[in-house]
Amino acid sequence: MIKRKLKDIATWVNGETVGPDTSTTEVAGVSTDTRTIQKGNLYIPIVGENFNGHDFMRAAVENGASGGLWQKDQPNPPEGVPLIYVEDTLLALQNLAKNYLASLPAKVVGITGSNGKTTTKDMVTSVLSSTYKVQKTEGNYNNHIGLPLTILSLEEDTELAVLEMGMSGRGEIELLSNIAQPEAAIITNIGESHLQDLGSREGISEAKFEITAGLKEHGSLVIHGDEPLLTEKVTNCPFHVKTFGSSEKNDYYPVQIDQKTNGTYFTINGENETEFFIPVLGKHNINNALSAIAIAKQFDVSMPNIKKGLEMIQITGMRTELIQGEDGVAVINDAYNASPTSMQAAIELLQDLNGYKKKIVVLGDMLELGDSEEAFHYDVGEGIDNSKINYVFTIGELGRKIAEGAKVNFSPNHVLAFDDKQMLIAKLKEVVEEGAIVLVKGSRGMKLEEVVNALT
């Protein structure tokens, strides 16, 4: 983590020190939350729509902070506290992170995309960790506040930082890329998330491509090569471009895939003698693994170490996580988030799995899809194969559109739509039996982990 004297931090954030001992006070780490502050932290109060961190400066010091930033337009700064006055505390946080990172030897791998960012981050980290000291974005610290905090948590001897970059609108990834200045970047895919804000898949692709804004000159850009909205953007671009995908036109593509209940085995072009294994379900996750392989080769990781790194992946929870539940019922917990692309991939995964007496999907609303949201939900339902799935359960108003689509192919008594989660759980428990498997997937706001917990 960052360890610097307050006076040096003041230079990095273009601020002015006030209060006692500012020339000798040293900080160790930063925090924007007094509830998790550690002794020696620099407290950075953020002004939000419904809160003002400046109100908690005194509490931060009492909890162990050695000093803090203070926005000049905020009244009543506390006396007797080492402070740095700045024009804007959020901008100061971002500038502090950028300058701290520039002082380190660490190189950055940036990751963005509509789906698979977190899984890809975990895979890239695991593969690179076979050869280097690596740190990654923890949890959902992937926005304009979280990414700077992640950077400021880097150890001085970290060699590679794997940083996830999320967004809710245009310009956000450009900001993050300019802070992180990545040596290499991955765009996992272009889906439908954020259609409500960006209007079209073209708009989404433009927003995701902002990751190149801070990409180092002659840096490496790894993209989903089966996506025309991305490949058309890299013609004559100044970066070292590598592509991955299912088609043979890509630099990296799978040759053979074998889906097992413990994970996925596959081989790739150019490495036919090497069988890779990822302890993750779903053929769609091979694309994520391919992007990790591409990045690893950019950083000269040996093929044996790449193979070992993929085998040792630890995936962040609620992402195609297979759990053995009560009474011999298996559950695929994919409840962290959902879009049409990721939901279709999860359903295809369940359809491909063998050895189960009964297969059931529990699907919830997919959010932020804009004007076509009902059509997206209907199409997901209509695409479910009734020869491979026994029951379709849905929850939520938009989930009813999934049910409507499913009824095109399913008998009505095998498609059940609910508005009440407890009623769904009660009916689901009547239907499941030993040897059954249940897929649970929906947007984060649906909190479908409650269904998972009821079965496990």
| 84, 117: one domain | no
442 lies in which domain range? Answer: 321-455
pLDDT at 89 over 90: yes
The 3-state secondary structure of 10-53 reads HHHCCCEEECCCCCCCEEECEECCHHHCCCCCEECCCECCCCEH
What tokens does 67 get?
């000093």
Q: Give the residue, 320 or 407, on which the prediction is more confident.
A: 407
Confidence of residue 192 (pLDDT cuts 50, 70, 90): confident
| 134, 274: one domain | yes
Q: Which residues of 6-37 are buried (b: 16+ CB within 10 A; e: fewer)?
A: bbebbebbebebebeebeebbbebbbbebeeb
Strands of 254-260's sheet, edge to edge? Answer: 254-260, 263-268, 276-278
pLDDT at 194 over 70: no
Model pTM?
A: 0.86
217 and 226 in contact (C-beta within 8 Å)?
no
Angle 266-294-243 from CA coordinates, rounded to 5°: 90
Angle 159-162-165 from CA coordinates, rounded to 5°: 145
DSSP 97-133: HHHHHHTS--EEEEEE-SS-HHHHHHHHHHHHTTTS-
Report how far Cα 295 is from the mean position of its chain's Cα atoms. 17
Rounded to an integer, what distance in angstroms lies between the CA atom of residue 264 and that of residue 352? 12
What average pLDDT does the segment 343-366 reach?
94
What average pLDDT does the segment 299-319 reach?
90
- pLDDT tens-digit series, residues 17-64: 999 988 899 999 999 999 999 999 999 999 988 899 999 999 999 999
| 307, 333: one domain | no
Rounded to an integer, what distance in angstroms lies between the CA atom of residue 138 and that of residue 36? 15
Confidence of residue 261 (pLDDT cuts 50, 70, 90): confident
| 349, 282: one domain | no
Residue 318's pLDDT is: 67
| CATH classification of the domain holding 287 | 3.40.1190.10
Split into its structural domains, the chain has a count of 3
Residue 16's pLDDT is: 96
The 3-state secondary structure of 385-441 reads CCCCCCEEEEECCCHHHHHHHHCCCCCHHHEEEECCHHHHHHHHHHHCCCCEEEEEE
Backbone φ and ψ of 415, nearest 5°: -125, 115
| 325, 305: one domain | no
Rounded to an integer, what distance in angstroms lies between the CA atom of residue 88 and that of residue 192? 34
- pLDDT tens-digit series, residues 397-434: 999 999 999 999 999 999 999 999 999 999 999 999 99
Rounded to an integer, what distance in angstroms lies between the CA atom of residue 329 and that of residue 192? 32
3 state DSSP class of 280: coil
| CATH classification of the domain holding 74 | 3.40.1390.10
| 198, 259: one domain | yes
What tokens does 101 get?
């990172």
The DSSP secondary-structure symbol of 216 reads P
pLDDT at 196 over 80: no
| CATH classification of the domain holding 368 | 3.90.190.20
- pLDDT tens-digit series, residues 112-137: 998 889 999 999 999 999 999 999 99
